[in-house]
Homo-oligomer: A and B are copies of this chain.
Amino acid sequence: MPTTPRSRSAPSGRVTAAMVAERAGTSIATVSLVVNGKDRGRVSTPIADRVRDAVEQLGYVVDHAASSLARGSGDLVVLIAPDLSNPFFAEVIRGVRDTVGDRFQLVLSVTERGEQPVDADVRRFERLRPAGILVDAPAESASMSASVPVVLLDAPGGPGAVNYDLTAGVQALVAHLRAAGHRRVAYLDGTSRATTFAVRRSLFEQACTTADITVSPVQAQADLTIDAAAGAVAPVVDAWLADGVTAVVAAADTLAYGVLRVAAERGIAVPASLAVAGFDDLPSSSVTAPSLTSVALPGAELGRAAALRLLATLDGVDAPDPALPTRLVPRASTGA
């Protein structure tokens, strides 16, 4: 810890506007204007050039803390997402980043494994005075309000949220299973408290009822990792088979991978003895053994839509708000 007195501006390596101003022979006010591109018609060309030269030579960068303090808010956009072990979120992030672009700087925060973003997370990031906050798969959409604009992703029912329209995808999945002759299926749920999982389950159960397919009372759920899913499936897979289940639908592809792994270990033929399907359509779902049938949720699209909505809010204009379409990608794991 340096003991340098604070009054002496010990050259901390940090270049300030004052240093730029001195070198350019102007005031820091002028430096601020030039650096922020607000010099048109306010600063003469020769002076502006001198400032730019000095900035270049000194490697000056506007201090974010000071700037956002003075301005009231900064150019940060915060995206709070659940644990990234689900590759789905990588896609969402990409969509957001490509959309907020250079205008804002995107920073991410991830929750503890298996946790959903909650109110307190939003609160913690308000401190940073971001331009806006995006929350992916929040636990409860109720009280996510803040002093900055907040957009919720994949938070069905919430206001100020962008969502998938899961109906089409789920119905296609159930129709697909029905056509393959399945009449009794199991559902492997996530332990996640994200509302989207409740929606997936209930839409699935509804569709099954309509299609005259029975959902097995033998329940299982797990964290969204392959290991956790395999651990949850191992104890119940025999009960499923004994119950006459011929297909299992998992709330996420990573969960479905766990089913595939247990089936492989037990020598249960997929799809002959047990069909398997998931949600997300992860990139790796095309190379599993067998390749996995999945309801495709385009993550990058979700990220893009959320970012557009935030930008629209910041600009004070109305945002289009279409629910994003989902579709079934049938593969070998259901005999496609």
Asked whether any CB of chain B lies closer than 8 Å to the CB of A38, the reply is: no
- Residues in B whose Cβ lies below 8 Å from that of A72: 12
Asked whether any CB of chain B lies closer than 8 Å to the CB of A218, the reply is: no
Given A225-B283, A283-B225, also A97-B110 (CB < 8 A): yes
Binding-face segment, A50-58, A86-94, A198-206: A86-94
Asked whether any CB of chain B lies closer than 8 Å to the CB of A40, the reply is: no
Report which residue of A78, A85, A290 has the largest number of chain B beta carbons within 10 angstroms of its beta carbon. Answer: A85
Asked whether any CB of chain B lies closer than 8 Å to the CB of A124, the reply is: yes
Total chain A interface residues with beta-carbon distance under 8 A: 56
Docked complex Cα distance between A283 and B127 (Å): 36
B264/A287 in contact, CB under 8 A = yes
Given A61-B126, A68-B65, A84-B90, also A226-B286 (CB < 8 A): yes
- Residues in B whose Cβ lies below 8 Å from that of A164: none
Asked whether any CB of chain B lies closer than 8 Å to the CB of A266, the reply is: no
- Residues in B whose Cβ lies below 8 Å from that of A284: 226, 257, 284, 288
A287/B288 in contact, CB under 8 A = yes
What are 15 A-B pairs with beta-carbon distances under 8 A? Answer: A13-B147, A14-B147, A65-B66, A65-B128, A65-B129, A83-B94, A85-B90, A85-B283, A87-B87, A105-B124, A106-B109, A107-B107, A260-B287, A284-B288, A289-B289
